[in-house]
Amino acid sequence: MWRATILTLFPDLFPGPLDASVLGRARAEGLWALDTVDIRDFSDNPYRSVDDTPAGGGAGMVMRADILAAALDSVPAEGRPVLCLTPRGAPFTQARARALAGGPGLIALCGRFEGIDQRLIEARGIEEVSIGDFVLAGGEVAAMALVEACVRLLPGVLGSPSSAGEESFEAGLLEYPQYTRPRLFEGLEIPAVLLSGDHKKIAGWRAEKAEETTRARRPDLLKRALENGPIRRGKIKDQDR
Ligand code: SAH
């Protein structure tokens, strides 16, 4: 069974949003498992502290490598990669989520304070990942985002198996815009093509919109999609080649 183990100073935050809706149902059905390790249980002092002042000086505190190593070594890896959440990490992507979902699960290390002693990362060969170019107060919300992105890709978790394949990033582009009833909302109509019943025309319109949106909002994604060969959806204009 796909399993996530979260090392954290705040185990009570879990499962939190991971228990809502389809993910919660899937966990109840045994499609995936979640457990937490309280890093403070591995402290070496009566205050249960896990941090110390930064070498070289400066503000804040740093999580200690020796205590984190003891916490990490208490977890049976069972072939799972260890990921550390940090703004210094490689950007987490849909492709990484898909790869992780295809494996046995993951072990995630949540930082707090100014972060963790770099020697732990080196000594345990930990993968550093970021969920975006901004700074959170701790790694817990980031770990939830990562686990949620993986679990919704597991077989049987989402209602319709096709709903994950067409989405943003899956074809290297952002998704086309979505609409539903009512047909008229504050003077705004649903685009007529979507009501035409012509599936070929609809697919073409969606491909065009996906490309147009990606070009306007994420030219970096469009560039990468083009470098990776022909885009699955829609035609690319000559200026983008
Ligand atoms: N001093 C650090 C930030 C520490 S924020 C720096 O400047 O890089 C405290 C913790 O929050 C981090 O250890 C990390 O676990 C988590 N965190 C903050 N922002 C994050 C992000 N964008 N992605 C993943 N984890 C993040």
pLDDT-based confidence at residue 238 (cuts at 50, 70, 90): very low
136 Cα–ligand 1 center, Å: 6
114 Cβ below 6 A of ligand 1: yes
**39 or 230, which is more confident?**
39
Q: How far apart are CA 129 and CA 146, in angstroms?
A: 9
Residue 234 has pLDDT above 60, yes or no: no
pLDDT, position 241:
36
> Counting atoms of ligand 1 from 1, which one is nearest the CA of 116?
13
Q: In one letter, which amino acid is 129?
A: V
pLDDT, position 162:
58
Residue 231 has pLDDT above 60, yes or no: yes
What dihedral do alpha carbons 71, 72, 75, 77 form, nearest 10°?
180
157 CA to centre of own chain? 16
pLDDT, position 160:
75
Tokens 């100014």 -> residue: 114
Residue 22 has pLDDT above 90, yes or no: yes
Q: What is the DSSP code (8-state) at residue 126?
A: P
146 Cβ below 6 A of ligand 1: no
For the chain, give the mean pLDDT.
94
Residues 59-114 have pLDDT tens digits of 999 999 999 999 999 999 999 999 999 999 999 999 999 999 999 999 999 999 99
Residues 122-165 have pLDDT tens digits of 999 999 999 999 999 999 999 999 999 999 999 999 987 656 56
234 Cβ below 6 A of ligand 1: no
- Count the Cβ atoms, other than its own, within 10 Å of residue 83: 22
pLDDT, position 167:
87
Instruction: Output the DSSP codes for 59-114.
Output: SS-EE-HHHHHHHHHTS--TTPPEEEEEEEEEEP-HHHHHHHHTSSEEEEEE--TT
Instruction: Output the DSSP codes for 127-156.
Output: EEEESSSS--S-SHHHHHHHHHHHHTTSTT
Mutate to test the pocket of ligand 1, among 64, 85, 110, 130 (most ligand atoms within 8 A of CB): 85
Residues 153-204 have pLDDT tens digits of 999 999 876 565 678 998 899 999 999 999 999 999 999 999 999 999 999 9
42 Cα–ligand 1 center, Å: 22
Phi and psi, residue 4, nearest 5°: -110, 130
pLDDT, position 164:
59
Please report, rounded to a whole number, the percentage of residues in the chain having pLDDT higher than 90: 88
